[in-house]
Structure 1
Amino acid sequence: MKIARIVFDGKCYNGLVTELGFQPYEGSFYDGSAKVNGNLIPLDEIRYLPPCEPKTILAVGKNYKDHAAEMGGAFPANPILFIKPTSAIIAHKEHIVIPKGCGRIDYEGELAFVVKKTAKHVKKEEAASYILGYTCMFDITAREVQSADGQWTRAKSFDTFAPFGPVIETNLNVMSSSVTTRKNGNVVQQASFTLMTWPPAALLEFITSCMTLYPGDVVTTGTPAGIGPITQGDTLELDIPGIGILMNKVI
């Protein structure tokens, strides 16, 4: 299933994206109470919202060895975690805004997963039951700010620096899929998810050993090699087979 939140005719809807259109639902996909409510809406008449409303966005650094190598420094013994603020969220087809005076701004294309139910001390063997599904996310980063600060919070937290969507795919076979990032139509990142050092189940176990995650929270799993700068006028596309394409222009 492809879960989405959309706007149509001035109203917000939750539901599923299908080949025939958008099917509105009532109830919750998190607790299994969702049921059909209304008629199909043509996909060319909808505007996507972020597919969930997280309390927390947890992000992972250096989960791919090739990206860790291009960034320099030792490869970490454990996942590197940081938090992006929910104020940075934008949806599919919304604009990434380059902040003034911050120097180089980079794209990082990533797979993210959405938490289905309250998660604390989750073992990786049971992680699948805690994951609602998967989505696309750009971890936009002010690279010179990151270097100057010596830690990552400010560099990752500017408004519009957390585009994600357009849908949450509940049936993705992660280890059979891959990520491709395109800038202005040119492939700049491409990697199989088998290259992740810590796949989603391992990340959920590690994260929930120290903090509680709640339904709708988002964990973005890190980026492969190929990061690079963006400038005003660029168009980014993040393509994950089985989920779809997240597209954002840069202004």
Structure 2
Amino acid sequence: MSIRKIVPTLAFSIATLFAGAAAQAESLSIAATPVPHAELLELVKPVLAKEGVELDIKVFTDYVQPNQQVAEGHIDVNFFQHKPYLDSFNKEHKTGLVSVGLVHVEPFGAYSQKIKDIKELKDGALIALPNDPSNGARALLLLQKQGLITLKDPSNILATSRDIAENPKKLKFRELEAATLPRILPDVDMALINTNYALEAGLNPVKDALFIEGADSPYANLLATTEAKKDSPAIKKLVDALQSPQTRKFIQEKYQGAIVPAF
């Protein structure tokens, strides 16, 4: 066979090989909030591609749609929440989403543009809290830890402002959607903000928070999917990639303590 005939044949074989590999790649859709979740997913996307999984990252800025989209089967898995929130969502919406792996902790913090130290907080100060049950309670528990309030049940992870037993400084509370809290900082004396939204707003949790949860926080962010998909090989590959030493190193170096690995 002449060289002229060999070269086209070889080129056709290579093209066919790559086309076959592309056809075998499994698409995995995932809903995520922008920071740090989508950033971590972009990190592992090339790793998954080498393992035959094409990761389709869909970014959301709220805490409701990611779960609804997965529960309704429009998206395979999501990455934005901790277990208390997932449990609360499942109960409220009668869904059965399950956790398939922990990734990181975003220490919850208190921020202010009016004071530099919590000792400066005045009586009757206006405090903004997330309005979803799990994060609202998380904020109250953190305020309790600082000695600012006392809850009727000090360990109630679904406490609301109605469960406050003692409020010596007569603090006032405004409950708002979590994503809006950084924007209303000028209008309140202090706001309890989820770290992902703090980071998006340019706040540094380590430097800017008046006080913040420790790394032992039970609110680790997780991957959630349906019962039917929890054993999916593609999702297992995603969990492995997000719990890898490379991801751990990335979290530690990029976020400098604002986010800590939970694996």
TM-score with structure 1 setting the length: 0.27
TM-score with structure 2 setting the length: 0.26
Greater strand share, structure number: 1
Greater helix share, structure number: 2
Structure with greater Cα Rg: 2
